Homo-oligomer: A and B are copies of this chain.
Amino acid sequence: MTQLPDSIEDSVISAILGGRLRPGTRLGEAKLAEVYGVSRTRVREAMMRLETRGIVHVSARRGWFVVEPSATEARAAFQARRVIETGMLRDLQALPGRSLPGDAVAHLRAHVEEEREALHTGHVGSRTCLLGDFHIHLAHAFGNAFLTDILRDLTARTTLVSMLYQSDQDAAASSDDHAGIVTLLADGDFVGAARLMDEHIRRVEDGLDLAAAPDPLAGLREILSPGAPA
């Protein structure tokens, strides 16, 4: 299902969303250049593109780092998503003729099913990634490439946060919300879907303990935990 990334950018994003690269991780140009078998030039290009997309940031002459959204930034990202995603759904209601493509509801239903499985079997990374993907797929069904791209980057940021702070039961509740949204969409009740989407994103945001500062030593602890390879 997951296609292998063809560009450095996609590869890094995929690693971040998959939980293999944690927020705050340093991305050395030389290291990446070696990994991808290219010169620093192309790595720098990719990093700068990711920077304008808000995925990484650069600290002058120190290196590139996966963004660590502050509590304030995280809340702003959630608000932006709420505005856009509810706006999209309400826009569907505005024009009587407008609607989602015929197979959209079926696709979304299948996706929710995938979420369900990941909740039981998968680990935090794939679970959180799938929960974020639901919103991307919904945006895709809406059919506006600009909004899809925007939501992809915005969701990446909130996913980054959710992965650190979301509990198992909150993840399950999220998936239930998704199922409810799909049901409303199937009924053509876009305003209802918009309302539930608004509640859903608020719930996810409120469920995260953003006040609790992340553990800056998490990476170190993991490495130093018993059983870790030298």
B residues less than 8 Å from A147 (CB atoms): 79-80, 83
> Which stretch (A45-53, A108-116, A160-168) binds chain B?
A45-53
Q: Say whether A90 faces chain B, with CB atoms less than 8 Å apart.
A: yes
User: How far apart are the CA atoms of A144 and B78 in the complex, in Å?
Assistant: 10
Cα–Cα, bound, A77→B149 (Å): 12
Compute how far the CA of A84 lies from the CA of B139 in the bound complex, rounded to whole angstroms.
Answer: 13
Query: Does A5 lie at the interface of the complex (its beta carbon under 8 Å from any beta carbon of B)?
Result: no
Q: B-facing mask of A46-62, CB < 8 A → 1, else 0?
A: 00110111100000000
Q: Does A176 contact B (CB under 8 A)?
A: no
A88 touches B (CB below 8 Å)? yes
Write the A89-118 contact mask toward B (1 if CB under 8 angstroms, else 0): 011001000000000000000000000000
Q: How many residues of A contact B (CB 8 A)?
A: 28
Q: What B residues does A94 contact at CB under 8 A? A: 198
Any chain B CB within 8 A of the CB of A30?
Answer: no
How far, in angstroms, from A225 to B216 measured CA to CA in the complex?
65
Given B49, B84, B90, B91, which contacts A52 in the complex, CB threshold below 8 Å? B49
Q: Which chain B positions have C-beta within 8 A of A83?
A: 84, 87-88, 91, 144, 147
Q: Distance (Å) between the CB of A81 and the closest chain B CB?
A: 9
**Alpha-carbon distance A79/B87, docked complex (angstroms):** 10
Question: Closest B-chain residue to A202, C-beta based?
Answer: B94
Assembly CA distance A144 to B51 (angstroms): 19
Given contacts A49-B49, A49-B52, contact A91 B84 (CB under 8 A): no
CB nearest neighbor in B for A45:
B48
CA gap between A48 and B53 in the complex, in Å: 12
Contact A90 B91 (CB under 8 A): no
Q: Is A171 interfacial (CB 8 A cutoff)?
A: no
- For residue A86, CB closer than 8 A to chain B, the reply is yes
Task: Please list the 8 inter-chain residue pairs (A to B) with the smallest Cβ-Cβ separation, ordered nearest first.
Answer: A87-B87, A83-B87, A80-B146, A49-B52, A52-B52, A80-B147, A83-B91, A76-B144
